[in-house]
Amino acid sequence: MTTLAPSMSAIPRPPFLASIGAPDDPESLASERLAAKRYEEVLEVLMEAYGNALFRYCQQQLRDRDLAADVHQTVFVQAFDALPSFGGRSSFRTWLFGIARHRCLDAAKIRRRRERRFQLTDRLPEAPSEGLGPEERLSGHRRRRALADCLASLAPRIRDAVLLR
């Protein structure tokens, strides 16, 4: 008896699906090496497969090439440290991009804090200089600078509370 439908193994795979599940698929290679506890090799596979895409993602999120390079490196260091506990609940790609997302958010938060610290002197009111001599203006400038330095040394939440008061 002949069948009308060809067997599934006889149907060629489309080119865009050819690498999925193939022996040289980065996910498969990384999984094999992870099972063998060859963590350095896992990291090499992941860096080769996803390194450029992760860097582009970091650069897109941070809009700063140098900061993106730092975050990119941090992602792989953190991934390497966490490889022994990788549970496989997601693909390596998804896992790496999740780490990158959180590190980009952290870097952006730190950058905002630094920028805000440098803007403190802009938010301090200028003392009226009319009728003041050079010594009084210099003294006022020194007091404002000392106040700005003190504010900059406070924790961000405390500093915000002081400035709002």
Number of Cβ atoms within 10 Å of the Cβ of 61: 18
Residue in this structure with the two tokens 């009308």, named with its chain if needed: 4
Q: Between the CA atoms of 87, 90, 94 and 96, what dihedral angle is there, to the nearest 10 degrees?
A: 10
Cβ proximity of 76 and 49 under 8 Å: no
pLDDT at res. 55: 97
The mean pLDDT values, 10 residues at a time, for the chain of 165 residues are 49 53 82 95 97 96 95 98 95 97 95 76 58 77 82 76 65
Closest CA to 54 of 110, 90, 101: 101
Sorted by where each starts, the structural domains of the chain and their CATH numbers stand as 23-112 (1.10.1740.10), 119-165 (no CATH)
pLDDT at res. 8: 47
Return the structure tokens found at 121: 């002197």
pLDDT at res. 12: 57
pLDDT at res. 165: 55
pLDDT at res. 123: 60
Tell me the C-alpha distance between 126 and 12, whole Å: 76
pLDDT at res. 95: 98
